[in-house]
Amino acid sequence: MSTILIIEQILNGLQSGIMLFLMAAGLTLIFGVMGLINLAHGSLYMIGAFAAAAVAGLTGSFVLALIAAMAAAAIAGVLVEMLVIRRLYATDHLDQVLATFALILIFSEGTRWVFGSFPLFLDIPDYLSGPVTLPGGIQYPFYRLVLICVGLLVAAGLGLLITRTRIGIQIRAGENDREMIAALGVDISKLYTLVFALGAALAGLAGALVGAIQSVQVGMGEPVLILAFVVIVIGGIGSIKGALIGALLVGLTDTLGGVFLPQLFKLFMEPSAAQSSGSALASMAIYILMGAVLIWRPTGLFGARP
Amino acid sequence: MIRERTLNGLVLVLLLAVPLWAMFNDQPFTITLATRAVIFALAAVGLNIALGLGGLVSLGHAAFFGIGGYAMGILAHHAQTYTPVMELPFLIEGTKSMPVIWLVAMVTSGIAAFLIGILSLRTAGVYFIMITLAFGQMFYFFSISWAAYGGEDGLLIYVRNDFPGLNTLVPINFFAICFTILCLVLLLNGLLARSPFGLALNAARQAPQRVQTVGLDPQRLKLVAFVISGVITGLAGALFADLNRFVSPTMFSWQMSGEIMIFIILGGNARLCGPVVGAVVFVMLEHFLGGLSEYWHIYLGALLLLVVFFARGGLVGLIAGREVAHD
């Protein structure tokens, strides 16, 4: 196994990790600020992807498609927040799980109703496709590099937003003490809607960006949603830094495990058995990682200690 | 408003009457539908012991449902291919006997629940939901990549397993077996809730510190509840596999965990017959709405939202009022 393969796989892991971060960031903000488990976050991801595919099909512009994805997801997010989620803040986790599960059903079937059961395709534009040569002679798809950069830029922007701006201060204050910031004159319900819209837009963006390398179909959001939950639980719920580190850990474990565990097993097993047990272990690896982190630190790597 | 106990009786009588009616009118599909409802109810009654009594929001109970299913699938698969399950360190043969399969399903899911419980109970709140979900996913992906037992395609069992003295291929007989088990488990659940253990568990959910002060270990109480809960859901999994004569990784999926939880919340959390009502209503909706429209999940979703908003105690709470669960 060559260095080139290893570097390629590390880049793939980074790329999937950074896309997971876009999902996880919204989820962790929403949970941190409002104490809400939003299972329907995967549906916002799906809405983003579908909006992007539809707009790209109509206009042919990838940039417009991305904007449409963020706008559609944010609008859906705001609607959902105002109509449904707002009534759930005071209830326990059980009701939230049920209500947002109900939202998944509605969104998935609604999308199937509008777009049909067949997957749509979102093409990578010409100026972003094709391989580039990295130092050391490694050929790597340009689009995936762009994804990594976009993700890192968003992460940096989000970091600045949280630590440097007035909204960020309010969000952090909201995580610590809701009643207090309401008493200080911040319109808490507007803040909640804003955070929800922000999280939704990030999910929509992730859906559109990933939709261009995979197919756009109903149910695409749920696997990512579960991974994003794993990420925020590893990182500690409510922590953006935790979400970033958790996302990279999960992305790298998932990608590298899938490639290298079967290879590793081949060193001491016969090839076919090694292939199957290696890939079995690889698909379980991130959940084992999460279990291990939670047993070591029950509130995640950067979560608030009780 | 009628009393919860009357309602419970009514529900069970109805659940028995419909398949009997179907038998005399020669409608085997209705009996299968009722059996499906009974098995789902059993799985949810299992989860209700952890969720309702113990306050443990487990989003990973599909793990036990699936383990029960695969216990049946693996044993029956080896019996129908005349191969041993394993030869070393000692010989284990496959079997087509239901009681043996149930025992294996219950013991393995009990062991799994014990291990998952020990690890998961270190966390609380939303972390507990997520870690149980993660364990469920672990089993899901493991079953997908377990090529020896069908991997993604699952296992097909040609003939339903045997029960001593009954022809299980007759739909009403298999229904009778499942219904009897459900009634026994409900009885057990009622006794358990009123037993010293049940009371202590209830207290451990409401005020763990006080329970600790009087010298009981709340974590141990919850662990025991989690194991009992897993055992029952595992048994339901074995029955479900036998009903379909098919096991696949879908039984491990997180949507399955979600559905089991929906039965409970739809019917009424921590109510004795809440899970039964929920499962029956769900299966009926699935059947009738599914017949009306291809997109019936939209209506199901809307209905669930209504339950969350307007019927906090579930359907049982709506009908029998907000009396305290289990008297």
**What pLDDT digit, counting tens, does each position of B202-234 carry?**
999 988 899 999 989 999 999 999 999 999 999
Task: Specify the DSSP class assigned to residue A215.
Answer: -
Residue A253 sits at the chain B interface (C-beta within 8 Å) = no
Give yes or no for a contact between B217 and B121, defined as CB atoms under 8 angstroms apart.
no
| B325 pLDDT more than 70 | no
In the three-class reduction of DSSP (H, G, I as helix; E, B as strand; rest coil), residue B246 is classed as strand
Number of structural domains (chain B) is 1
Residue B181: domain span: 4-22+29-265
Judge whether B299 lies within some domain: no
Judge whether A306 lies within some domain: no
- List the CATH number of the domain containing B44: 1.10.3470
Contacts of B65 (CB under 8 A, 6+ apart): B43, B233, B234, B236, B237, B240, B251, B252, B256, B260
Q: Measured between alpha carbons, how far is A223 from A67 in angstroms, rounded to an integer?
A: 24
Residue B118 sits at the chain A interface (C-beta within 8 Å) = no
pLDDT at B326: 44
Token pair of B199, please?
């009371």
Token pair of B182, please?
């459900």
Which of chain A's residues have a Cβ under 8 Å away from the Cβ of B145? 276, 279-280, 283
CB contact under 8 A, B57 and A112: no
Residue B310 sits at the chain A interface (C-beta within 8 Å) = no
pLDDT at A306: 55
Residue A51: domain span: 3-296
| B267 pLDDT more than 60 | yes
Mutate to test the interface with B, among A109, A232, A277 (most CBs of B within 10 A): A109
CB contact under 8 A, A109 and B295: yes
Contacts of A8 (CB under 8 A, 6+ apart): A138, A140
Instruction: Single out the residue of B229, B234, B239, B235 nearest to residue B189, CA to CA.
Output: B229
Which of chain B's residues have a Cβ under 8 Å away from the Cβ of A87? 309
Judge whether A290 lies within some domain: yes
Residue B149 sits at the chain A interface (C-beta within 8 Å) = no
Distance of CA B142 to CAs B62, B77, B135, B256, B284, Å?
A: 13, 18, 11, 16, 32
CB contact under 8 A, B265 and A95: yes
Which amino acid type is present at position B205? Answer: R
Residue in B122, B265, B295 closest to A295 by CB = B122
Judge whether A305 lies within some domain: no
Which of chain A's residues have a Cβ under 8 Å away from the Cβ of B258? 97, 101
Judge whether B308 lies within some domain: no
Residue A250 sits at the chain B interface (C-beta within 8 Å) = no
Residue in B126, B135, B307 closest to A37 by CB = B126
CB contact under 8 A, A102 and B142: no
Judge whether B45 lies within some domain: yes
Q: Measured between alpha carbons, how far is B267 from A133 in angstroms, rounded to an integer?
A: 60
Residue in B127, B137, B138 closest to A233 by CB = B127
- What would the pLDDT profile of B81-102 be if each residue is shown by its tens digit? 888 887 777 778 888 899 999 9
Residue A304 sits at the chain B interface (C-beta within 8 Å) = no
Residue A94 sits at the chain B interface (C-beta within 8 Å) = yes
Mutate to test the interface with B, among A287, A290, A293, A302 (most CBs of B within 10 A): A287
Judge whether B172 lies within some domain: yes
Q: Measured between alpha carbons, how far is A249 from A282 in angstroms, rounded to an integer?
A: 14
pLDDT at B322: 63
- What would the pLDDT profile of A58-100 be if each residue is shown by its tens digit? 998 999 999 999 999 999 999 999 999 888 887 878 888 889 9
Token pair of B59, please?
């989003």
Using pLDDT thresholds of 50, 70 and 90, give the confidence band for residue B327: very low
- What would the pLDDT profile of B111-169 be if each residue is shown by its tens digit? 999 999 998 998 888 889 888 988 998 899 889 888 788 888 899 998 899 898 888 88
- DSSP string computed for B18-30: HHHHHHHTT-HHH
pLDDT at A43: 95
- List the CATH number of the domain containing A217: 1.10.3470
Judge whether A303 lies within some domain: no
Residue B309 sits at the chain A interface (C-beta within 8 Å) = yes
Residue B305 sits at the chain A interface (C-beta within 8 Å) = yes
Give yes or no for a contact between A229 and A290, defined as CB atoms under 8 angstroms apart.
no
Angstroms from A64 CA to nearest CA on chain B: 30
Q: Which residue in chain B has the smallest CA separation from A93?
A: B126
pLDDT at B311: 79
CB contact under 8 A, B307 and A103: no
Residue A233 sits at the chain B interface (C-beta within 8 Å) = yes
Angstroms from A202 CA to nearest CA on chain B: 22
Residue in B138, B147, B254 closest to A284 by CB = B138
Q: Which residue has the higher pLDDT, A260 or B189?
A: B189
Judge whether B314 lies within some domain: no
Which of chain B's residues have a Cβ under 8 Å away from the Cβ of A99? 304-305, 308
Task: Output the average pLDDT for chain B.
Answer: 89
Which of chain A's residues have a Cβ under 8 Å away from the Cβ of B305? 84, 99, 102-103, 106
Judge whether B307 lies within some domain: no
- What would the pLDDT profile of A218-235 be if each residue is shown by its tens digit? 989 888 988 998 898 899
Helix axes A3-34, A188-211, angle to 10 degrees: 160
- What would the pLDDT profile of B27-57 be if each residue is shown by its tens digit? 889 999 999 999 999 999 999 999 989 999 9
Number of structural domains (chain A) is 1
**Distance from the Cα of residue B41 to its chain's centroid:** 6
Can you point out the beta strands (E) in B52-107?
84-86, 92-93
Judge whether B322 lies within some domain: no
Size of interface A-B (CB pairs under 8 A): 125
Residue B29 sits at the chain A interface (C-beta within 8 Å) = no
**Bridge pairing between strands B155-156 and B246-247:** antiparallel
pLDDT at B192: 93
Judge whether B298 lies within some domain: no
Token pair of B100, please?
């043996």
In the three-class reduction of DSSP (H, G, I as helix; E, B as strand; rest coil), residue A140 is classed as strand
Give yes or no for a contact between A199 and A29, defined as CB atoms under 8 angstroms apart.
yes
Please give chain A's pLDDT, 306 residues, in tens: 578 888 889 999 999 999 999 999 989 888 888 888 888 999 999 999 999 999 998 998 999 999 999 999 999 999 999 999 888 887 878 888 889 989 999 999 999 999 988 888 888 888 888 888 887 778 888 999 999 999 999 999 998 998 889 888 888 888 778 788 888 888 888 888 999 999 999 999 999 999 988 889 998 988 898 899 889 889 988 888 899 999 999 999 999 988 888 888 888 878 877 777 787 788 888 888 988 888 888 888 887 765
Judge whether A244 lies within some domain: yes
Residue in B59, B133, B308 closest to A99 by CB = B308
**Which residue's entry shows tokens 């279990």?**
A291
Judge whether A164 lies within some domain: yes
- Give the residue-averaged pLDDT of B311-319: 81
Residue A216's beta-bridge partner residues? A120
